[in-house]
Amino acid sequence: MTAEQPTVGFVGLGNMGGRMTACVVRAGVPVLGFDTREGAAEEVGATAAPTAAAVVADCDIVALSLPDSSVVEAVVYSDPGFLEAIRPGQVIVDLSTSAPASTRRIAADLAGRGASYLDAGISGGAAAAEEATLTLMVGGDPAALEIARPVLDLFADKIFLCGDTGAGHTVKLLNNFLNAVTLSATAEVMVAAKKAGLDLKTVLDVVNASSGVSFASLNRFPKIIEGDYLKGGLTNTLMLKDVALYLDLAAELGVASLNAAGPVAAFGLARQLGYADEISNTVVDAIGDVSGGIRLHDPKGDPS
């Protein structure tokens, strides 16, 4: 790895990976990218690689942005060329939402080949990825983080070293569970406010100045009541998957999860009503559907 300019690769150029890659490219850093969707690399300004293994073979720092542990494991283990290309001094950064136990297994396998594996959960959604203002929660070797930091700084403005391998993905699951709880609960409250005939902007102003405030009430619902669902973020299917991963973690830790029923029901409902691949903010429409066909936004311009 050169001290001046390590070579950079991205595996997974979808909703988030594509946006992060574009940030790196805009900063003038060439990126070798792979995605199963043809043309994905070119769309974000990266050079297309034929396989994930080819990215690993040619790059010093490789970021993975994949849906979950099953996909990460498939990428790492299904093609023997991936592990064969791993070399000493290389840093692999897993930006996916993954199970910590899986993360630790992969990290151990890569360490045996002299490479470092950082688990780096991300938060902020598509908008933050576009604006290079993501938050990263990282687990792994601090020295490896310093090697990768100049690249990570190109799409994140807050990077927290959370502990050893697996700590980043653990913190990510904890954060995502809170996100699921507050988003689904706020969606329910806003449907109730609409049915009660209240002015929704006023309701949000009150909540955001009071004890019910959350990221959802501050950043999501002021847009949703105007008809902007902030498309491009985590889908209902992926949100439900993250809650399931949290429940697995809670069971592994022996922690009673008393608040999971709400988001499991809400995002499960959204999936069953046809919103599976829509942004998770549409959970409010799923709740509205079963509450009398309620929509927060009035196309005529009156959100109340």
Select from 133, 102, 143 the least CA-distant residue to 119. 102
Distances (CA, A) of 69 to 79, 103, 185: 16, 8, 27
Tokens of 153: 């700084």
Cα atoms found within 13 Å of the Cα of residue 93, Cβ hemisphere only: 27
Pairing status of strand 31-34 against strand 8-11: parallel
Pick the catalytic residue from 158, 172, 223, 241: 172
300 is catalytic: no
- The rounded distance, in Å, linking the Cα atoms of 142 and 16 is 24
**CB of 191 within 8 A of CB of 182?**
no
- The rounded distance, in Å, linking the Cα atoms of 150 and 173 is 25
- The rounded distance, in Å, linking the Cα atoms of 41 and 45 is 6
- The rounded distance, in Å, linking the Cα atoms of 18 and 84 is 26
Give helix 200-208 / helix 167-195 axis angle, nearest 10°.
140
Distances (CA, A) of 204 to 170, 191, 208, 231: 31, 12, 6, 21
Catalytic residue ranges: 172
